[in-house]
């Protein structure tokens, strides 16, 4: 019941904010709970566009784990991504267990002792993130799972969280026999293959945006 109430509260908050602002940043609409309207409407800024433009890949995190309720909202945003024929060809495992992360990290440290010893900031193989989200795809459905991941990363950004999409740990976990227990613990269904891991946590850095090549865009009129 508590989870249901929290979910309903989150939905109500999003709806309330949507009522606070019009698309061009007008003042609060009458009757709306506009407690955060000033931030929502400031400058007429579109909050979805802001989340997209502000998001960076974060590789330094605070030790504070992400609250379960936030993780729950983020993965629900993920599964609301579009997918071909609405097949939703993904499975998601949200790892909140610090013990499990530490266990697979010990395998990584043993296999990469020299590299780990050279990094004084090393805490774990997931860019030191306190939580991870593991995504598996069915039948090589990388496109659909990419849309899923983008939804989750943008939702996290809107909550003040950082993310980084990781491929290296996936390759290590698949190739190292001692890490097989980790995949077993995730328990993906037969036919599903782990394709990426999202590091997620409270950011401990604010990297600048890297240049984007706008010359690759063409408008056909």
Q: What is the pLDDT of residues 148-168, one digit of tens each?
A: 999 999 999 999 999 999 999
Residue 104 dihedral angles phi and psi, to the nearest 5°: -70, -30
pLDDT score at 44: 62
Buried b (16+ CB within 10 A) or exposed e, 114-137: eeeeeeeebbbbbbbbbbbbbbbb
This prediction has a pTM of: 0.80
Do the beta carbons of residue 73 and residue 133 sit within 8 Å? no
pLDDT of residue 132: 98
**Parts of the chain with a pLDDT under 50:** 1-43
pLDDT attached to residue 45: 83
Distance, in Å, from the CA atom of 158 to the CA atom of 179, rounded to the nearest integer, reads 33
User: Where in the chain do CATH 3.40.109.10 domains reside?
Assistant: 68-201
Alpha helix ranges (H) inside 21-123: 37-41, 47-54, 68-79, 98-111, 113-117
Domain covering 68-201 assigned CATH 3.40.109.10 in the classification: yes
């Amino acid at each position: 019941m508590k989870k249901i109430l929290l979910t309903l509260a989150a939905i109500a908050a999003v709806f309330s904010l949507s009522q606070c602002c019009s698309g061009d940043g007008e003042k609060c609409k009458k009757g709306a709970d506009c407690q955060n309207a000033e931030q929502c409407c400031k400058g007429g800024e579109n909050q979805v566009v802001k989340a997209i433009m502000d998001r960076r890949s974060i590789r330094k995190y605070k030790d504070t784990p992400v609250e379960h309720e936030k993780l729950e909202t983020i993965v629900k945003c993920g599964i609301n991504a579009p997918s071909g024929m609405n097949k939703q060809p993904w499975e998601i495992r949200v790892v909140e267990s610090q013990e499990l992360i530490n266990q697979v990290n010990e395998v990584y440290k043993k296999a990469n002792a020299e590299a780990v010893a050279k990094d004084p900031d090393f805490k774990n193989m997931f860019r030191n993130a306190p939580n991870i989200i593991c995504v598996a795809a069915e039948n090589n459905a990388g496109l659909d799972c990419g849309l899923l991941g983008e939804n989750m990363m943008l939702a996290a950004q809107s909550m003040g969280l950082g993310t980084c999409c990781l491929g290296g740990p996936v390759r290590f976990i698949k190739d190292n026999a001692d890490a097989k227990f980790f995949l077993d613990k995730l328990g993906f269904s037969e036919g599903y293959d782990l394709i990426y891991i999202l590091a997620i946590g409270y950011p401990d850095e604010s990297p600048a945006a890297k240049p984007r090549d706008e010359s690759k865009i063409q408008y056909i009129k």
